[in-house]
Chains A and B, each alone.
Chain A
Amino acid sequence: MSTELHRYDITQESDFLQPRDFNRKTLLQHVDQVFRAQITNIIDLTSEEKLFHVRLVKDHQRERFTFLPGQFVMLEVPGYGEIPISISSAPTNKGYLELCIRKVGRVTSVLHKARRGALVGIRGPFGTSFPMEKMRDHSVLLIAGGLGLAPLRAPIFHVTENRTNYDQVHIIYGTRTPDQLLFDYQYEQWRRINGVNLSIIVEQPDEAWTGEVGLITKLIDDLDFDPANTYAIVCGPPVMFKFVCNQLSTKGVPMHRMFVSLERRMHCGMGKCCRCNIGSTYTCVDGPVFDYWSVMNLKEAI
């Protein structure tokens, strides 16, 4: 007697016939297949950070691709690796994604050498987003420290594009030194929008600096707002958002109305590899956006 076991081809399942869509998390699909994407523009921001414009090559994939402010993508550099990068552009921009990347490791080093026209891969979008709808009709504090302006840029675009939906809008940004300020070419544009208040501060000024000097908390001290009617988005290193959120909390902003975006090592973006675990919470699917109350309850987060 010989028994030949049946060969089962999973790709014949009906799920696989659907177009790939990372917004449909329960779909059985080629989870590691990337969208081919081209780097169409490279903008030098500082000596360490560049902004990449990345355009999905296939028209139907580009049109299908939607994301919410706060979500991230896995950026694949074939042969070198894949890294999580928060989306820095407006969700309404269907042409290309803007990804702000600091040169720190292997993959980012390759990217910083890549030229315009380079072909990379995108998977995503992944993760939770800032609840822009809930914030409607409230005042919004958009606060970033250092590289935190990258994930904050998508909500800034959303708020400025839908300005009538929000009450007062304050953008508050701080870095250590003036040469670390990101997107400085946009400040003028934001300032000119009616009802948007932009304040910037650096810790260590150089000779040319004429603006505010000190920690970002100093700007918040001086801020005039109604805490009972305010939402806050705070992006930056843990030590920064901890101080800022505690300060806002003291001023009366409820913890569940403050949102932070956390960063961790990630190898999948899909709640599998565990590398982004905070305790046993997956930053990639349960985050990266958390309200501050949840963060307080994640023992490892701060």
Chain B
Amino acid sequence: MLFKILTKDGFEQLVDGILESNEVIGPKRVATGANGKPIHQYLPVTSFGELDLDYETTEFPAKTYFLPYRETLSTFHFDEADWTQEIRYRIQPRAIVGLHACDINGLLKLDKVFGRDAFPSPYYLSRRRNTLVVGIDHMPCEGGFCQSVDAHVVSHGFDLFLTDLGDRYFVSIGSDRGFDLVGKVENREVSEDDTHAYLAVRRRISDAFKTHVRTQNLPTLLDLEFDSPVWKRWGDKCLSCGSCAMACPTCYCYGVNEEVSMDFTVGTKVKQLHSCNLVDFAMVAGDHNFRPSRESRLKYRYYHQHRGFAEAYDEPKCVGCNRCGRVCLAGINPPEVIADLHEEDRA
């Protein structure tokens, strides 16, 4: 990896340059919560000033820019007794500025599912390759446990990654595209002082995590606790509203629906992200439901996060951002649920 130093003005110029002819997405302050804290979302910005790079977290992840909540997979044009199918992939380039390490790790996990596994998805890959990703380091967010799942640092999957050294950014360069961008504005080589300052920041971040989740042996523990009363206890609280999956940077399950235009000339095949907590997730025609209870649906969400995905890719699907825990109105959150399972194990 190559590293450079950018002044803060230099970075602003860099983003302004992209903004002139491309869409830029970044953390924007959209509201103030009932608790007095600002609420941020990843949204398109029109100027550098709209970006709030000091944000703690966002309510929703940036996955919708790669794996849209709703996406047209194809369009059928009906012509008398015949039809044609039209498929388009998004190829307009854009930049996402200000993703934290956990979210970039989330993208790396989605890359595994949609980029490298059986049947790579051209929809996903086209969006991924047309998106410039600029990450930034941050102090741990409240309740975040990314350190426990090794997602608080990221070594690839981005074009540029910034670490704030006060008056300047320490820039990790992850692609030739990123290297060219840095070259367009005033930059300099990394000095020994910069490296020390960078490592100090990294240490400060690492030492600051307050929320920890015991992930050792979790896949086996989940198997052992398959019939644990823990699932009923938390499952009874579940509203089956799917908010956790929508707020999760790596939840990708979906449903496909087709609609016909009112004049019966065009059919659209639309993919919509779903959630394994929704009541109809495993319902089949004829009304049989393979997962009829809240308890079983919640349990299998945890199984996919920490066991199934781990079996397939040797790492959990969870990146520890705890967005699911924050968005859950019923207060179901991974640190407490997993702690309960460990507790159950000892009892």
- Could you list which residues of chain A lie within 8 angstroms of chain B, going by C-beta atoms? 1-11, 22, 25-26, 28-34, 78-82, 104-105, 108, 117, 119, 121, 263-265, 267-268, 270-275, 277, 279-281, 285, 299-300
Most buried by B among A5, A34, A270: A5
**Hey, which chain B residues are within 8 Å of A26, CB to CB?**
118, 120
Any chain A CB within 8 A of the CB of B255? yes
Q: Which DSSP category, helix, strand, loop or mixed, fits chain B's interface?
A: mixed
Asked if B119 contacts A3 (CB within 8 A), the reply is: no
Q: Residues of B contacting A8 with CB < 8 Å? A: 91, 93, 126, 129-130
A272/B119 contact (C-beta < 8 A), A5-B94, A79-B267 known? yes
Q: Does B253 contact A (CB under 8 A)?
A: yes
B258 and A81 form a contact (CB under 8 A): yes
Instruction: Check if B113 sits within 8 Å of A272, measured CB to CB.
Output: yes
CB of B237 closer than 8 Å to a CB of A: no
Which A residues are in CB contact (< 8 Å) with B13?
1
CB pair B283–A79 under 8 Å, yes or no, is: no
Give CA–CA (A78, B86) in the complex, Å.
12
Q: Give complex CA distance A271, B130 in Å.
A: 24
A82 to chain B, nearest CB (A): 7
Q: Is B76 an interface residue (CB 8 A)?
A: yes
Interface size for B (C-beta < 8 A) is 72
Which of A1, A9, A25, A119 is in CB contact (< 8 Å) with B185?
A1
Q: Tell whether, in the assembled complex, residue A81 and residue B253 are in contact, meaning their CB atoms are under 8 Å apart.
A: no
Closest to A271 in B: B118
Would B92 and A279 count as touching, CB distance under 8 A? no
Contact with A along B138-182 (1 / 0, CB 8 A): 000000000000000000000000000000000000000100010
Residues of B within 8 A of A9 (CB): 91, 126
B260 partner residues in chain A, CB cutoff 8 A: 79-80
Return A301 CB to nearest CB of chain B, in Å: 9
Contact A6 B21, CB 8 Å, known A279-B303, A299-B226: no
Do A4 and B226 form a contact, CB below 8 Å, given A264-B282, A279-B308? Answer: no
Q: Judging by beta carbons under 8 Å apart, are B267 and A78 in contact?
A: yes
Q: Is the CB of B119 within 8 A of A274?
A: no
Which residues of chain A are within 8 angstroms of B117 by Cβ–Cβ distance? 271
Residues of B contacting A281 in the complex (Cβ-Cβ under 8 angstroms): 308
